[in-house]
Structure formats: C-alpha cells, structure tokens
A and B are shown apart, each in its own frame.
Chain A
C-alpha cells in the first residue's frame, strides 16, 4: 500500500491524459474537428512508427555497448587535444538526463577538468546518435550532417568562450 502511495505518476503520462481529456471535451463541441484530427494523428503515427522502431533499436545497442562507467573513466583525465576529443566523444555517446551528469562534472572540475571541457561535453550531449534517423527523416541527410558538424565545431568555440567569461569575471 505504501509503495502504491509513493509511486509517482510520470509527467509524460499526465501530459498524454491531459491531451486525451482535451480531445474528449472538443469532441462534444466540434466532433468533426476531432475526427479530422484523429485522421491526421494516425497518418502521422503510421509515417513515424518505423523510424521509432529503428531509433529504439539504436538506443538498445547504445545501452548494450556503451556504459556510463566507460565515459566516466576517461572524462576529465585527459589534457590537451585528447581532453577535447574525450569531451566531444563523451558528450555524444553519454546517455541519460543532462542533470544526472552535473554532480560528476562538478567532481571532475575539482580534480582539474576545465570549464571549457565541461561546457564542450554538455554541448555535445545535444547530439544524440540514436535519434539522428528521426532528424534525417524530417530534415534530410545533408541538413543533419551539416548541423551535427557545426554543433561539434561550436562546442569547442563555446568551451573557449565560457572559459574566458568565467575567468574574466572571477
């Protein structure tokens, strides 16, 4: 009983239920609007479902082959060019919510990891390899490749800039 009480309803599920309730309310006011919307919804779902299957297969592979421990092992211990490479690659392959990485990064900073490398790592976390098929589906391969390359380049520029700003102010 205690366990049931403590179980938090996921926010994503609350959002879904809220949208469904919204649909039900609108159905009473304007049924045809809901019918057309439903039609659009199924069209969208059929279009996206195969990509979704592919995306989750990639997520499974990432979970299987890349362990957070591996990223932690190298992150913050490398200096110079290899430090940048590890921060970029670590950011790209790291999984999980961004805030889960904050305590580790704060710890690594105490051990000598620069603000530039922390910033670079965080920026590269925006590049999600398993989600790239989704981005390609909507925006095309060339756009996705170009955006990814720019994000990696700017992660380094941002790292330098953040470091400069922090050191200047302090």
Chain B
C-alpha cells in the first residue's frame, strides 16, 4: 500500500484539527475535576449513589445519557468517580450510556432516521448499558 506525502499531510491536518477541537475540552475537564476533587469531600459522591449495585447502575446510566461530549471526557470522569469510591457497575453504566445513548442527538436522529427508530434504539441502548455493566462486574473477578 503506497501512501503519498499528500495523504500524510491531509491526515496530519485532520488530526491537528481534531486535536485543536478536543484539547480545550480536555484541559477544561482536567481543571474542573481537579477543582471538584479539592473542593468536594469524597462523602458527597457516596451520597449521590445509593451503594446498591442495581440502583447505582441506573443512576450512572442516567448521568451518562444526559451528558454529551467526547468519549475521552467520559473516561476521565469515570476514572475519577472510581477513585472517589463509586462502584464499577455505576461507572460502567455511565461510560456506556455516554457513548450509546444520545439525548442531545435525539432530535437529529429522530428527524433523519425516524422517531420510532431513534427512541427504540436509545431505550434499548439504555437497558443494555445496565445489563452489560452487571455482566462485566460478574465476570471481571473470574478473569
């Protein structure tokens, strides 16, 4: 496979544009997380989640569904939530719905692919996130 210098240049420009777009978001999220980590006591997060795995996965899934943005942001937030003692089941559901359920994109998805399709796909993805989170937690200790 021959790759021309023109192709390399085009890919580099595309990646640079992507980088320019995402880097302020990442820096902003880092600053925000660093601040929240310092200002908010760890106990606050445990109040936000119930401690019951099933309900925590629902809370995580809801939070992920209403959030939008680059998946990198969800990994950073998820990692920090885990550091603050939030259960892996809740964080997994959060990570999954962040990328598979799109409340923000729902109007666009509905208008182009149909309302029935968009609603059915998002509901199924929401339920799947909770099931996958449960399965991951069940299987992970065995591996």
A-to-B contact residues, CB < 8 Å: 10, 12-13, 15-16, 18-20, 22-23, 26, 33-34, 36-41, 44-45, 48, 52, 55-56, 59-60, 63-65, 98-99, 102-103, 105-106, 109, 115, 118-119, 122-123, 125-126, 128, 131, 134-135, 137-139, 142-143, 146-147, 150-151, 154, 157-158, 161-162, 165-166, 169-170
Question: What are 6 sample pairs from A and B whose C-beta atoms fall under 8 A apart?
Answer: A59-B15, A102-B113, A118-B113, A143-B88, A147-B132, A150-B135
B139 touches A60 (CB 8 A): no
In the assembled complex, which residues on chain A have CB atoms less than 8 Å from the CB atom of B51? none
A40 touches B140 (CB 8 A): no
Number of residues from B at the complex interface, CB < 8 A: 61
B71 touches A59 (CB 8 A): no
- Give min CB distance, B62 to chain A, whole Å: 17
Given contacts A16-B24, A103-B112, contact A45 B3 (CB under 8 A): no
In the assembled complex, which residues on chain A have CB atoms less than 8 Å from the CB atom of B66? none
A37 touches B31 (CB 8 A): yes
Interface residues of B in 56-107 (CB under 8 A from A): 71-72, 75-76, 78-79, 82, 88, 92, 95-96, 99-100, 102, 105
Given contacts A10-B21, A13-B24, A16-B24, contact A60 B11 (CB under 8 A): yes
B-to-A contact residues, CB < 8 Å: 1, 3, 7-8, 10-12, 14-15, 18-19, 21-28, 30-35, 37-39, 71-72, 75-76, 78-79, 82, 88, 92, 95-96, 99-100, 102, 105, 108-109, 112-113, 116-117, 120-121, 124-125, 128, 131-132, 135-136, 139-140, 143
